[in-house]
Each structure stands twice: as C-alpha cells, then as structure tokens.
Structure 1
Amino acid sequence: MADAATTTTSPSRSLIGKRRASDTVFLGLSTGSAISIMVILAGVAIFLIIQGLPAITANWSSNQDLAAIHNPLGNGWSSFWAYVAPLLWGSLWSAVIAMILGAPVAIGIALFISHYAPRRLAGVLGYIVDLLAAVPSIVFGLWGIIVIRPFLLPLSQFLNEYFGWIPLFSGQVTSTGSTMLAGGVVLAVMILPIVTSITREIFLQTPRLHEEAALALGATRWEMIRLSVLPYARSGMVSATLLGLGRALGETMAIALIISPALLFSVQLLTDGYNSQTIAANIALNFPISSGIQRSALIGTGLMLFVVSLAVNMLARYIIAATGPGAKGRKKKGKRS
C-alpha cells in the first residue's frame, strides 16, 4: 500500500517541481526590475550626497561664493542648515496647504464617482479626472497666474479684514495675487487626479456583500459608506493622500510662477513677497546661473528634499501596516506569542 501511495503521489510532485522556460524568464525579469529600482534609488542618493557634501560641510561665513547667496534677513548665511531650513519650511507649508484644500475634495469626488453617480456619468467624470494628470505643471502655473490669482483677490481682502487677527491672514494684503494661498489652491488641483484615482479604485474594491448587508439591515447609503466602505478603504485613503503629498512636495514650476517667494519663515497666506520659497522652485530658478560651490549648495537642498520624501513614504508604509486589513489579527497574534 505504501508503494502504491508513493507511485501515486510522485508524478504530481514531479509536475509541480518542473519549471518552464517562460517561468524562468519572467522570474528573472521581475527580479531584475525590483533590483534595478533599488540600484537607481541608491545611485540617486549617492549622487546627491557626493555632490552636496562640499556645501553641507563648508564654512559659509568665510566662503565668498556661498556668502553671495542672497539672504533677505542679513548679509550672509551662517551655515548650510540656516540656508536650507526656510526652504524646507516652504516646501512643507505649501504641501500641507494643498493637502488641506485638495484631499477632502478628492475623496469626495471619488465617493461620488464610485457610489453616487450614474454609471455613464461616473465613466465621464473618471475620464476627466484621469485627464487632469496629463496636464503639464507649466499649464497649471499659467492657469494660476491668469485665473486663480485675480479670482482670490476679493477673498484675500475679506479674510484680512475680518480674520486679520489670525496670523495666517495678517500682514499687508497683496495687490497682485502672488500669495501662498494661490499656490496652495493650484497645488490642490494638481494632486486631485492621483488622490481621486487611487481612492476611487479602493472604494470600488469594497466587498459587495458588506455593502448589501449594511443596506439589508436598514442603513442609508451614507451609513453604509461610513460603516462599510470607509473602514475598508482607510489604509488606501492614507496611501493616496501621502502620494499626493509627495507630488506637492516635488512640484516646481507652478509654485515658481505663481508666488513671489523669499528665503524666510512665514505662515502668512495673503502677503506678496513674504512667501516661503520651496526647495524645488529654488533649484529650478537658481541652478542655471549657479556654479561651483553654489551649485553644490542647491544639490544639497535637493538631498534634504529627497530625505523628506523618503520619510513621508516610510510613514505611509507604517500607517498602512498599522491600519490596513489584517492589522488587528497581527496585533492579536503578537500578544498571544
């Protein structure tokens, strides 16, 4: 009997153990692609470190080329960190404004397309939202200059007149519209496609049985979404929002065209000429006219933006692992062990 069992199971094991040539090729291509991503990422990091290190470690007080970099608050920068700190603040501040304005709208659009709009209308809206991702950033910047800046001038006057006691809306109100508020609105529109597309697909992947069970128990459509769809899509919403944050952090031309920047710390949204500059826009504006140690300083600021983007993605992975499907099961398993 044992011999018969052995002869019965051995052919299936031999079939499972075989690997076709196409499987080997596919495995090699997928493995090589994954390795190439890591190699490229490491290469970018090494390049930024090597090229930016001379300016990071230099004595800015005694270097004439570094001292020649304009400082609106004094004659020269004391160190690289004093130079990059306002740029980091400007990048983070503009991205946060864009996320506050854009992420709720993007999630609302995704919910409307996935659960409220008729099928034909949902298809058209989904196509339009995806089409926004193909619009170049320079076009968004021109749209912000011609349309958004004049459009926000009455709102800026209103906010300063009635809410000027809040630091965000204080200061001399702009007459040109070159404000951080205008830049944040344009950035919010630019992150709509990526956040909307990802959250829409996550909402559509909610198990149909969960939705039907909630409706069968007497829940309204909004209660069904709140109890079944949003908890299931929580991790996907977080990942989509942080991907949009990464897009806003790296945006260059739109911010460079719209706002009138300066290298300083500022939270004011309605002023002209007192807006914190972003790292990406600063590099785009100054790299062509820089040379030597000044170019090294710009690459060093790019290294800081690279580190911030990497930290944002690591935070996203942590949040997804902590709140995604199966997180509670992993926690219970860890407590038992």
Structure 2
Amino acid sequence: MTVAMPGAGQVSGPGPDPVDAPRAVRGRGAPVDRVFRGAARGSGAVVLAVMLLVGVFLTYRASEALGVAKFGFLTTSAWEPDSRNFGIAAVLVGTVLIGLVAISIALPLALGTALYISEYAPRRLRSFLVSLVDLMAAVPSVVYGLCGAFFLQGYIVGLSRWISTYFSWIPVFAVDGSDPTDPLQTTTVYTSSTFIAGIVVALMVTPIACSVMRETFSQAPPGEREGAFALGATRWGMIRAVVLPFGWGGVIGGTMLGLGRALGETIAVYMIISPVFVVQWHVLQNGANSVSALIALRYGAASEFGMSALMAAGLALFLMTLIVNFIASSIAARGRSGSGAEA
C-alpha cells in the first residue's frame, strides 16, 4: 500500500498481514518426558508381543489336532481325542450359556451399585463403597467356587425348582425327567447346573463391570447435571436424562468386559458343574461344561495328541475372549470420549 503526499515521493506503508500458520515445534522435551514416552511405548509393545506369542504358541500346539478334526472340531460334542472323535460343540455351548446367565445377573447388580455409589451415596461413604467393590474383585476364584458349591447351591436349588415349576413352558427352563408338582421329587436334578455356575460367576464379574460403569457415570458433564436440576428435574430424572445417556458406552463396555471374564472362568465353574459332553440347553438341569473346565479336567491325563486337542480348545477360547474384550474396550473408550465437555 502506498500513500501519495504533496511535495514528497511515495511512502510505502505496511504490507498485508501474513497468513496465520501453526509454528512447528521441534523441541525434544525434557529427559523425563522422553523416558516416560519410551517406557509407555515399550510397555504397549510388550503386551502386544505377549498376546501374539500366546496366539502363535496355541496355534502351533493345536495344529496337529486341528489338522485331524478340521471343521468337525466345532460341530462334534464328544471328547475322545485318542479315538479321533472330539470337538468343542458341547463345551462351547456350555461356555456361552454360563456367560449369558452370569452377565444377565451381573448387569442389573453392577448398574444399580454403580448408580448408587456415583449418584446417591453420601460423600463420606462413597470411598468406602468403592474400596469394598474393588476388594470383591480381589477375592480368589477358588473362594467363590467353595462358597457356591457348599453354601449357595443349597439355596439356589429351591429357586431353580420354582423357576422350572412356573416357567418350564420356556424350553431353556425345562428339566428333563422331573415333575415339579411331586413333593417327593429329588432335588439332585437341579444341582451342578449351568444356572448355579452362572450365579457364582456373576458374583465374580460384577465388581469389574461396576467399576467401569461407575467411572463413566462420574465423568458426566457437571454443566448438564446442573442444567437438568435447574429445569426442575428430580435426581432420577437427571440420571435418566444426563447420566445414563452419557454413560451408555460404559454400561455396554463394562458388560462386555464382564462377559469376557465369565467366558474364561475356570476354577469356580470346575468346582460346581457336573461335566457332560452333550449339548445341554436346559440351564436348570444337572450337568454342564465349559472350555476352561474341560482343559482343567483333562489336562493331567491327556496323551500327546490329547494335549494338542486341549490346546485347540484353548485357542478357541482365547480367540473368543479376545474378540469380546476388544469390542468391550472399543465401546467403553467411545463412551468416555468428550467426558470433559460442559453443557
């Protein structure tokens, strides 16, 4: 831009403003930051490497059995590897049923506990309840198994009989060879069932699901909470309009993480069930099985080929739990995104 003045030449003025552009930052950061970054990357790489090595090891050890069984490995119920007649159809169905029973019971328990701790519990009591729930996750599996086998089972049998009496028209709740109206009917047909194992596993996975849900609920935007109260909402109305929609991803993620734990539970299930190698759809009936319980049951007496078959079963369980946990982590991370946003 030039300005003409009388008696003088043209005077150059300031040029146009340069276009704003982000400044490149080339600093390497403090040494402690570089150490932390390297440690974080190294830890992540180690975890991925361990998971990869586990998958490679199981695939290598299972290759002999999978080469013999082929696709029949997923459709055969019997487990006679030395006779080349084996498959995981029965134990796979049992694993899924135990997991579904467990998560059906754990979901309302975890959701209610998480909502009470984050929204209703007094501040002084909140930290104690959080520690108590976290301590439940630290109880060994064998303790839950002993409690379920020698204490809970005697009480759950009555519930199983009541469900079978009034809901046996639903095929999954039917019990073969039992007459619920007969007062002298033995209760052994209801013991060591998928239902009992599922209840015990539900107690084990509830703390995990509760922790994920509670963490998500606590991150609900305060501005939206206060806005709901300002508009006259009750506490439950605020929870329904703000907390639950915001934490829905955490609810689904926590549920899926609990399901992943339920699918792989071994000792508690092994101590409760009565192993059968048929597809058992009746969850209240005596007899159940799971992939992890099968491995624990047959590991000690397995031949070399039988060990390869067990490795194949372990590979199937590894892939199934890996997929479930990956989906859960993705959903939970998506549900927590934007947690710092305000209304």
How would you bin the TM-score normalised by the shorter chain? 0.7 to 0.9
Q: Is the 8 A contact 1:234 1:324 kept in 2?
A: no
Pick aligned residue for 2:222 from 205, 208, 223:
208
Counterpart secondary structure, 1:261: coil
Is 1:31 the counterpart of 2:41 in the alignment?
Answer: yes
> In structure 2, the residue corresponding to 1:219 is in which secondary structure?
coil
Unaligned 5+ runs, structure 1:
3-11, 61-67, 327-337
Counterpart for residue 278 of structure 1 = 290
Distance 2:266 2:198 in 1: 13
Q: What SS class does the counterpart of residue 58 from structure 1 fall into?
A: helix
User: Is 1:260 matched with 2:274?
Assistant: yes
* Residue 171 (structure 2) pairs with residue 157 (structure 1): no
Structure 2 contact 58–315 (Cα < 8 Å) conserved: yes
Using the alignment, how far apart are the partners of 1:29 and 1:318 within structure 2? 23
Cα contact 2:101–2:198 (8 A) shared by 1: yes
Normalized against structure 1, the TM-score is what?
0.83
Q: Once the 2 structures are TM-superposed, how far is the Cα of residue 53 of structure 1 from its aligned partner?
A: 0.8
Q: Please say if residues 257 and 329 of structure 2, whose CA atoms lie closer than 8 Å, have aligned partners that are also in contact.
A: no
Q: Which residue of 1 aligns with 2:67?
A: 57
Amino acid at match of 1:259: I
Shift of 1:321: 7.0
Q: How much has 1:13 moved relative to structure 2?
A: 7.3
How far apart, in 1, do the equivalents of 2:337 and 2:157 lie?
45
Per the alignment, residue 196 of structure 2 pairs with 182
Q: Is the 8 A contact 1:98 1:185 kept in 2?
A: yes
Q: Structure 1 or 2: larger helix share? A: 1
Is 2:328 the counterpart of 1:316? yes
Structure 2: 5+ residue stretches without partners: 1-13, 15-22, 71-77, 179-186, 339-343
Q: Distance in 1 between matches of 2:298 and 2:230?
A: 62
Deviation at 1:319, TM superposition (A): 4.0
Do structure 1's residue 297 and structure 2's residue 309 form an aligned pair? yes
CA distance in 2, matches of 1:17, 1:212: 42
Shift of the 86–186 alpha-carbon distance from structure 1 to 2, 3 Å rule, reads same
TM-score (norm 2): 0.81
Larger radius of gyration between Structure 1 and Structure 2: 2
Residue 306 of structure 1 pairs with residue 318 of structure 2: yes
**1:145 aligns with one of 136, 141, 149:** 149
Identity of paired residues, percent?
Answer: 39
**SS of aligned partner of 1:289:** coil
Helix, strand or coil: the match of 1:17?
coil
Alignment pair present for 1:112 and 2:116? yes
Shift of 1:323: 6.1
Determine helix, strand or coil for the equivalent of 1:288. coil
Q: In structure 2, how many angstroms separate the alpha carbons of the residues matched to 1:294 and 1:13?
A: 61
